[in-house]
Amino acid sequence: MIFTIPRAIFIGLLQRAFLILPSGKAFLDIPGGNLLFASVGWLLWQPDSSPGLVARVGEDYPQAWLEMFHQRGLDTRGITVLPEAVDVRHFCAYTSRTTRVTDDPVSHFAWLKLPFPKMLLGYHPPSKIDSRTRLSATSIRLGDVPDLYLDAGAAHLCPVDYLTHSLLPALLRQSQISTITLDPAAGYMNPTYFNLVPALVTGLSAFMPSEEELRFLFQGRSNDLWEMMEALAAYGCDLIVVKRGEGGQALLDAAAHKRWEIPAYPARLVDPSGAGDAFCGGFLAGYCSTYDPLEAALTGNIAASLAIEGSGPFYALDALPGLAQARLEAVRQGVRMV
């Protein structure tokens, strides 16, 4: 497959995932990370436009996976392979449809009477609070983005660390990338960072937190979801989209003074782990096609619905032809202007 200048680039994390699903089924050491789910969300609606991926991994990351990503239609030229081992393991267990934990894997495998995987020995979950001063091994540096990618028309920043999100948007804007969307990371969506988040929001095309993240950020300041969204939009962001899980999405178009509530498509939930990222990729794909924020939210909604019906980031790409479009028309009927 020959890649030229990508129409959109995605910046995020590649991980080696260890999952325990709500059903109790376990998946061990499979490709994971927000970068894959988001880029697949894009490919669902832009199958002929290979997205460029930007991430950092170590020399111990499976080369066969990188080759498989390429075969699936992803442009991997922006993936930096460091000359050292980098721990990109990620453990996640769902104790219910909506509750997940990312620590103490030993107890979860013991509870399910499953043998503990040797590859998780020594695993420690990442810190819940981001550093304001220290880059991690997987933090994206300015030089990690290939020059060719800077000619893309759109970019999405998946949840990564605070420093990456504080540095990258300025570089993207200087290179004339006109559409920039950002999904914030839980590591800084907390009251400690309240006065720093506005600087990240300024100049974005869309800011797309989860409801849980947004409420935690505004803890002690507001309980009104629309009030929080308006406050962020006031810092100079065109669109605020709040992902609400099984509650769908809330969309604010600040410039047009419009608000919408969009119901989640009633999909069969198997693995919810990549839903929010798939939404963001689908949103960007819809927005780049129509520049209609509501249409973008709908395409994101359907991307998420397909992602959660199976395991692994590429499950959604194997959906029946026409299924995504049929779901789009169905969920459109439930949109409500507020």
pLDDT of 210-261, one tens digit each?
999 999 999 999 999 999 999 999 999 999 999 999 999 999 999 999 999 9
Task: Out of 3.40.50.880, 3.30.2420.10, 3.40.1190.20, 3.40.190.10, select the CATH number for domain 10-128+154-337.
Answer: 3.40.1190.20
Give me the torsion for CA of 106, 110, 114, 116, rounded to 10°: 30
Bridge partners (DSSP) of residue 89 are 16
Q: According to the model, what pLDDT value does residue 66 have?
A: 98
Whole-number Cα distances in Å, 163 to 159, 166, 197: 11, 5, 11
Mean pLDDT, the chain, rounded, equals 96
Give residue-wise pLDDT tens across range 152-205: 999 999 999 999 999 999 999 999 899 999 999 999 999 999 999 999 999 999
How far is the C-alpha of 150 from the C-alpha of 144, rounded, in Å? 11
pTM passes above 0.75: yes
Query: 35 and 164 in contact (C-beta within 8 Å)?
Result: no
> Rg of the Cα trace of the chain?
19
Q: Is residue 2's pLDDT more than 80?
A: no
pLDDT at 1: 52
Residue appearing with tokens 């439930």: 334
Percent of the chain with pLDDT over 70: 99
209-226 as b/e: b if 16+ CB within 10 A: bbbebbbebbeeeeeebe
